[in-house]
């Protein structure tokens, strides 16, 4: 499995490959990092501070980025979204 999940101090870190997305308990994106691709800092700027449950499809990593990092980040994004949805139940 390419996606790994770890809960640390009230946040959930979801890693896919070498990129990571971190969300808090209500689904707010705290950080996006890793990968070494040129679009990761841009993705961090676009996504950080947003609630993962309220991000429209056109603003997901797979639609904002253009590298393998954006693709793998989207895998982590989808898993993090599932985790946030489960937390609202």
Task: Give pLDDT tens digits for 21-35.
Answer: 999 999 999 999 988
- pLDDT score for 6: 96
E strands within the chain? Answer: 3-8, 11-16, 19-24, 29-34
Which residues have CB under 8 Å from 80's CB, separation 6+? 12, 14, 21, 23, 29, 52
pLDDT grade for 86, boundaries at 50, 70 and 90: confident
In this predicted structure, the answer to whether residue 87 has a pLDDT above a threshold of 90 is no
């Amino acid at each position: 499995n390419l996606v790994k999940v770890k809960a640390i101090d009230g946040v959930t870190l979801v890693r896919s490959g070498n990129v990571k997305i971190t969300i808090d308990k209500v689904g707010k994106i705290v950080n996006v990092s890793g990968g070494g691709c040129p679009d990761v800092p841009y993705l961090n700027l676009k996504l950080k501070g947003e609630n993962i449950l309220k991000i429209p499809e056109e603003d997901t990593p797979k639609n904002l980025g253009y590298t393998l990092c954006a693709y793998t980040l989207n895998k982590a994004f989808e898993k993090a979204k599932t985790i946030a949805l489960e937390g609202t139940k």
